[in-house]
A and B are shown apart, each in its own frame.
Chain A
């Protein structure tokens, strides 16, 4: 069974601090996506990572992918309150399983002023 895990599930941090969210998955895949979800809202695409070693940055967020370790990270630099949301990683295992995206459980981030 394909599993996608995220760590931590809950994260409360002070503004200005740095932190990393981890996403581990159990299948070989070189397609991983990060999404953000605000309460009561839909999913907003943050990053598309399509190869081993891929690194993408947008503002205070940076995502990377290590397909050999089956690990992706989402690094937050100098957090601000506006980053408070739930962050999901999703693995596309289509080549191996023929199924659609498998999402992690999400990391609920709360940035305190």
Chain B
């Protein structure tokens, strides 16, 4: 079974620009979560989508948004990029049903650098 895939893997953007990252979950997984990882703040939860609806949201500004498509693929968008948005963005998928449903499987991440 193929794992979680994320594209692109590396990205360099300029302050003020916007960026869209993509995540394809494991086949059959309906929940997709996004995390930001930085050396200073560690791993922080951005949001979770399930069946095309945002189910949970972390404490990030409105510049961070996301969506999920009917095939469970998800995108996250960051508008008006700031230097502090430089991070590794990780996507995780899970089944979201049943006792082991919340186990999350992580993709390789997208390394975003804002200059």
Contact = CB atoms under 8 A, between A and B. Distances in A.
Interface of A: 31, 33, 35, 41-45, 48, 50, 88, 90, 92, 94, 98-106
Contacts of B58: 99-100
29 contacts: A31-B102, A33-B103, A35-B106, A42-B90, A42-B106, A42-B107, A43-B90, A43-B92, A43-B106, A44-B106, A45-B103, A50-B99, A50-B100, A90-B43, A92-B102, A98-B56, A99-B56, A100-B48, A100-B56, A100-B58, A101-B35, A101-B45, A101-B104, A103-B35, A103-B42, A103-B43, A103-B44, A105-B42, A106-B42
Contacts of B99: 50
Contacts of A98: 56
Contacts of A106: 42-43
Nearest to A103: B43
The majority secondary structure among interface residues of chain B is strand
B105 A45 contact: yes
Interface of B: 33, 35, 42-45, 48, 56, 58, 90, 92, 99-100, 102-109
A100 B99 CA distance: 15
A102 B45 contact: yes
B103 A42 contact: no
A99 B103 contact: no
Contacts of A44: 106
A105 B44 CA distance: 10
Nearest to B111: A40
B109 A42 contact: yes
A87 to B, nearest CB: 12
9 closest A-B pairs by beta carbon, nearest first, are A103-B43, A43-B106, A100-B45, A42-B106, A42-B108, A100-B56, A105-B42, A100-B48, A42-B109
Contacts of A104: 42
Given A45-B103, A50-B100, A103-B43, 20 more contacts: A33-B104, A35-B106, A41-B108, A43-B92, A45-B104, A48-B103, A50-B99, A92-B102, A94-B102, A98-B56, A99-B45, A99-B58, A100-B56, A100-B58, A101-B35, A101-B45, A103-B35, A103-B42, A104-B42, A106-B43
